[in-house]
Structure 1
């Protein structure tokens, strides 16, 4: 009998050199202790009577707990019998996860399979009831309780590196939970009582200022109490590493080496945080840009400057140097002829493309990729034939800057407008200044980032409207097809040559998912997804199923698919283009039905003067006058309340 009874000693483990040493493992005479007996791990197997059938999770963590604390609760087992004969094995009816953890320790050679554990032996008649009892009525520990447990261990002198292996978690996990002990007792109580969720408290833990934590919670409307909102309010004057081209350009290591401070978000990824010294970051970026300027001085530019940002507004202060196309050399002409021949061959492949034999679209994708590569080579060759005009080159300079991806960008061949005026009159006209009638560029009201956010919301609203107007969706789709068929642009021939590219608006408007339009679109997407998936499960092809649908359903699906392809996002501030305005007018779109100014989507992104101007326009000049002395935070909160429900809209949303 592979059972050895012993006294009431629990099974204890001690961590030493990665092994587990059994305490009290000497052989003792069999001592009766009720129905608790010691059984070797090798003789334990899972019982088919165990009610927990779903695969176990968190076994590594449980194994670490057993390694550190010992097996606190005994297993419940029945003797295994086959054909009414005992096999020498014991089936575990309660404690399956503990058995998995013990077997993991054996597999890792941290425990011997001969090691014995306390087991309570029961009869088959009790087994199912005990298994059900153990697996019912259990509730996971609240994270707030875990936070306090970690804190108590820390106060007892243990470091996160020492605590982590005892619970089978990483030291970073322990540090994250300990960070929650830095919130005010009032905030922590709200979390412990489930009035605040983990995302909210982890965001408030970014600051150690108890007063600020409580003020943010109490002053933020319930519907706006999200982790992203709290992070923005706490780090409003800091620079988010994830979204800063300068941070990527300079490098966080270089910034910190220069003495810069970073507020780390323990609950984010390792590369996330907030730069607290914007001036130092700017200085380091300029230093690195100046090094790039030094490297290109020998190229013969009339002047060179470096800018940490250089957007379309900055570029509007310059004109491009004129270029003269030279004749290609014999070698260049031969290369162009060869590329043209390759394009003709690809065109023939497109002509002979069989969609039926390319179910996954890989063949077509390969053709497109090949075509794009050849077109890129042709464009590069053509560009190499363009040489700057000598007169323009004498006054043209270069701007060294940082692009949106945080990479070095060099803009060559730029002429300042005041320098362009010094050129002979006919040359000045050829630069494009006189022909375009450009004067001073008016400073826009909204930044490029805000303009993209606003136009993303405009796109979502148009999508939400047009998906319920199939007649307009059909007109928009036919309009696009007609442009392709009757326009001058080249497109390779393909059966039903229509491609829908769904727009992704979140990159320009992070909070777009909470907008009324996005919610309406998602509801319609779920509706059609469920219907189409059900058709597929019924064994029908999508085309065959569509043939069975009535015209109203086809119109509705057509409208939705057309809607999600619409994109009116732009970084240039102006009234909607003629095409956008035409669709808005056809839909009788009133953006006030879908959008209103809030701190997240407008007020925090404009100046105090602009907010006061908006209040003066939407409410009254007298009301705006009373707000001129307010600080930005107070002004935003006040304006948010006053503008609510007034249906004020910026010009970007007005079709005319």
Structure 2
């Protein structure tokens, strides 16, 4: 004990604690007769007392922490906006860095090119790629700096980035086999809210549409776009290639687009349209 040392520290509850009897490894002990004993350097070093928790307790405590964070975040829309945008941007602007967010948001950017016959001609795809390049030039290069950078931005910038991140997840692609029918239907609701005018984004031509459908579809499309005379002009064509050329010429400038491209009207709008048609049939216009 004459050569031993003592540790004085505060325990878990903040109280003074003293641990005695620790000997440095290089020190030598002597017995009562003054004879040297073997060095303690080979003995195990004493451990400094530390606080330890089981995995189950850590899980329990951090669940409480998560609950508190959820409540506080729900009551702070400004920080919540930043947190959501931060999580989104990690997914779309910093590949393989989504784990750097505490929020478990799943954002799946669906690649559209594989679904397109001619992706290079798509106005929407080109415009969105330009938008991504523009935002990419302003975001910090290091994803670890993104959250603090977002906190420093004015809210209108953060809202713009929110819209940019959310836009990556929009998916209205109808595939042959899909379990997303309800989501695809909601895309029409989204389109109505955005007041999307699809003819601004797609031009119906021979290359973009008519050469990919059969003769009957070409004829019915022209009847819908230009009337019965246009339909007869297409029907009179000897070959499909001629029908495609005629349809391309006749539909130009009409703004007509195929039904899968259209933003479907709401149920109320459909009912209103049906009533209007019924009234027209009930009270036909008098001949001049």
TM-score between both structures, scaled by the size of structure 2: 0.52
Distance 1:566 1:577, change over 3 A: closer
Q: Give the corresponding residue for 2:191.
A: 584
Q: Give the corresponding residue for 2:218.
A: 611
SS in 2 for 1:536: coil
- 1:474-553 correspondence to structure 2 within 5 Å: 495-532=102-139, 535-536=140-141, 541-553=145-157
The structure 2 residue matched to 1:638, chosen from 238, 243, 246, is: 246
Does structure 1 conserve the Cα–Cα contact (< 8 Å) formed by 2:233 and 2:246? no
Q: Structure 1: which 4+ aligned runs deviate by more than 6 Å?
A: 573-576
Deviation at 1:525, TM superposition (A): 0.4
SS in 1 for 2:161: helix
Q: Give the corresponding residue for 2:264.
A: 655
* Cα distance in 2 for residues equivalent to 1:642 and 1:515: 22
Output one character per residue of 1:457-482: Cα deviation in whole Å (capped at 9) or x when no partner.
xxxxxxxxxxxxxxxxx9xx99xxxx
Output one character per residue of 1:120-147: Cα deviation in whole Å (capped at 9) or x when no partner.
xxxxxxxxxxxxxxxxxxxxxxxxxxxx
Distance 1:588 1:572, change over 3 A: farther
Does structure 2 conserve the Cα–Cα contact (< 8 Å) formed by 1:592 and 1:649? yes
Deviation at 1:645, TM superposition (A): 2.0
Matched positions, count? 168
Deviation at 1:621, TM superposition (A): 0.7
Unaligned runs of 5+ in 1: 1-344, 353-473, 479-493
SS in 2 for 1:541: helix
Deviation at 1:601, TM superposition (A): 2.9
Unaligned runs of 5+ in 2: 1-55, 64-80, 86-100, 266-288
Does structure 2 conserve the Cα–Cα contact (< 8 Å) formed by 1:576 and 1:654? no
Output one character per residue of 1:491-513: Cα deviation in whole Å (capped at 9) or x when no partner.
xxx83121222110111113234
SS in 1 for 2:230: helix
* Cα distance in 2 for residues equivalent to 1:582 and 1:561: 19
Does structure 1 conserve the Cα–Cα contact (< 8 Å) formed by 2:174 and 2:184? no
Output one character per residue of 1:365-397: Cα deviation in whole Å (capped at 9) or x when no partner.
xxxxxxxxxxxxxxxxxxxxxxxxxxxxxxxxx
Distance 1:605 1:510, change over 3 A: closer
Does structure 2 conserve the Cα–Cα contact (< 8 Å) formed by 1:575 and 1:654? no
1:627 and 2:231 are equivalent in the alignment = no
1:593 and 2:197 are equivalent in the alignment = no
The structure 2 residue matched to 1:570, chosen from 170, 174, 199, is: 174
Deviation at 1:607, TM superposition (A): 0.6
Does structure 1 conserve the Cα–Cα contact (< 8 Å) formed by 2:196 and 2:263? no
* Cα distance in 1 for residues equivalent to 2:120 and 2:183: 23
The structure 1 residue matched to 2:160, chosen from 546, 556, 559, is: 556
Does structure 2 conserve the Cα–Cα contact (< 8 Å) formed by 1:619 and 1:643? yes
More strand by share: 1
Deviation at 1:572, TM superposition (A): 5.3
* Cα distance in 2 for residues equivalent to 1:654 and 1:585: 7
Output one character per residue of 1:178-224: Cα deviation in whole Å (capped at 9) or x when no partner.
xxxxxxxxxxxxxxxxxxxxxxxxxxxxxxxxxxxxxxxxxxxxxxx
Does structure 1 conserve the Cα–Cα contact (< 8 Å) formed by 2:171 and 2:184? no
Does structure 1 conserve the Cα–Cα contact (< 8 Å) formed by 2:215 and 2:243? yes
* Cα distance in 1 for residues equivalent to 2:187 and 2:200: 18
Output one character per residue of 1:55-94: Cα deviation in whole Å (capped at 9) or x when no partner.
xxxxxxxxxxxxxxxxxxxxxxxxxxxxxxxxxxxxxxxx
* Cα distance in 1 for residues equivalent to 2:200 and 2:194: 13
SS in 2 for 1:496: coil
* Cα distance in 2 for residues equivalent to 1:508 and 1:540: 34
TM-score between both structures, scaled by the size of structure 1: 0.24
Distance 1:644 1:508, change over 3 A: same
**Bigger relative contact order (CA 8 A; separation at least 6):** 2
Over the residues paired in the alignment, what is the CA RMSD in angstroms?
3.2
* Cα distance in 1 for residues equivalent to 2:113 and 2:122: 11
* Cα distance in 1 for residues equivalent to 2:127 and 2:176: 27
* Cα distance in 2 for residues equivalent to 1:544 and 1:625: 65
* Cα distance in 2 for residues equivalent to 1:517 and 1:500: 20
SS in 2 for 1:526: helix
SS in 2 for 1:601: coil
Distance 1:540 1:517, change over 3 A: same
Distance 1:502 1:515, change over 3 A: same
